[in-house]
Structure 1
Amino acid sequence: MTTPIRRMSKRMPGWAKLVSAVVLVLVVFFAGIRFSVLPGLKDLFGTETHDRSGPALLQSIQDISRYDAASGNFQVVVDLEKDAKYLPDAIRGTRTLYVGAGTVDAFVDLGKVGENDVQVNDDRTSATLVLPHAQLGKPALDADRSYAVSKQRGFLDRLGDLFSDNPNSEQAVQKLAVKHIRDAAKDSALTGRAEKNTTDMLEGLLRSLGFKEVKVTYKA
């Protein structure tokens, strides 16, 4: 008489499940790297981008009384490195090399010109204007001309990117680029060029209206 053989179901230990999950994550990670370097596979497993944004809403309208008299184009190379204490850079740490390009406008706020700042003689042939000094606007980073040259990340940072997609990953270098562009604009002759252009504009405008003598100065 034969005895039926019963198959014993063995449950996988908890530590074995954890090891299997880690191995699976590493396989997917390195497979993604392999797909990116092999020709043809990148297109096969590529992604498509769809813009499903809603329409832009107008929130407010403001009158502008300033005269934009000059604009400066700036470019800066940002080298931002973040290290972790007691860990080598290959394990934890990031370094980003970023080229930031942007513009800064210089303007004269004509809305601050009061009645006492404009003097005209009786026969309207001579005019004297006292204007506020030129100011610098906020730097505007040009997304089309700004780009990351290289990104170096440690193993743990790369592993974390598999589970999260951070849209602000370049926000730190972008803010630093804006700061450097702002500082460069302050050290440049941009405001002086703006005041000269404003003076030339007003002199030409008033002379076309019949004024023979036009004097433009700036407040102390």
Structure 2
Amino acid sequence: MRGALVAAVVILLGAAVHVFGQFRPFGDESIDRSQPAMLESVRDLSQYHAAAGEFQVVLDIENDVKWVPAALAGERTLFVAAGSVNAFVDLGTLKDDGLVVSADGKTVELRIPKAQLDKPNLHHDRSYVFSQERGLVDDLQALAGPPDLQRFYVAAETRLTEAAKRSELLTRAEENTRVMLTGMLQSLGFQVKVITD
């Protein structure tokens, strides 16, 4: 009888806490006391960002412990990473022979610098752990707090850079830069001759 009474009291207390937790007669109020953002520095840019690529990669990373069965220790993770990579041409690197006007002032010889890749921009909102298998020890360690995903982000950036290098991104950026500069110079009345290295 006493056990049933205790159980009933616990249930009633639990229900009361739940109801009270949802009962907010005066509403919630959120106060933001953050300081305004401050400008720390300004840089002049000479880069023409001429192309951007969206990439996705699935990382399959396994960490084993020597001489220990995978059921006890170790981890295998499938991590889906999405990100973008920009390709740009740095017009600030134009040399003296990069833009040469003919003696009669009618023709311009244009030598466009090679395109470069920016650091990948990993989309954290679209990157996630798809699946994870862990040994017993790693499972217990995971209970201590949220997983550290930094190593997956670093590996993903490396893979995104490799994918961008294999793609047509650099070629597209150089072509877009050529079209942009040619159109601009032709609108000024010049005939344009593009020299490629």
The two structures share one fold, judged by TM-score above 0.5: yes
Please list the CA deviations of residues 158-182 of structure 1 after superposition, one character each: whole Å capped at 9, or x if unmatched.
Answer: 212333445xx11112211111111
Q: 1:129 pairs with 97, 100, 110, which one?
A: 110
Number of equivalent positions: 169
Is it true that 1:188 corresponds to 2:142 in the alignment? no
Q: 1:176 pairs with 141, 155, 161, which one?
A: 155
Cα deviation for residue 58 of structure 1 reads 3.9
Using a 3 Å threshold, how does the CA distance of structure 1 residues 55 and 133 change in structure 2: closer, same or farther?
same
Q: Paired residue for 1:204?
A: 183
Q: 1:141 pairs with 122, 134, 159, which one?
A: 122
Q: Paired residue for 2:62?
A: 81
Unaligned runs of 5+ residues in structure 1 are 1-40, 45-49
Unaligned runs of 5+ residues in structure 2 are 1-17, 22-29
Using a 3 Å threshold, how does the CA distance of structure 1 residues 53 and 84 change in structure 2: closer, same or farther?
farther
Q: Paired residue for 1:106?
A: 87
Using a 3 Å threshold, how does the CA distance of structure 1 residues 56 and 82 change in structure 2: closer, same or farther?
farther
Q: 1:150 pairs with 116, 131, 143, which one?
A: 131
Cα deviation for residue 55 of structure 1 reads 5.7
Q: Paired residue for 1:216?
A: 194
Q: What is the letter of the counterpart of residue 118 of structure 1? A: L
Q: TM-score, normalised by structure 1?
A: 0.69
Q: Percent identity?
A: 47
Q: What is the letter of the counterpart of residue 131 of structure 1? A: I
Looking at structure 2, the residues matched to 152 and 196 of structure 1 have their Cα atoms a distance apart, in angstroms, of: 46
| Corresponding residue SS for 1:79 | strand
Which segment is superposed worse, 109-118 or 97-106? Answer: 109-118
Q: TM-score, normalised by structure 2?
A: 0.76
Q: What is the letter of the counterpart of residue 152 of structure 1? A: E
Which segment is superposed worse, 135-144 or 196-205? Answer: 135-144
Q: Which has the larger radius of gyration?
A: 1
| Corresponding residue SS for 1:114 | coil
Using a 3 Å threshold, how does the CA distance of structure 1 residues 174 and 53 change in structure 2: closer, same or farther?
farther
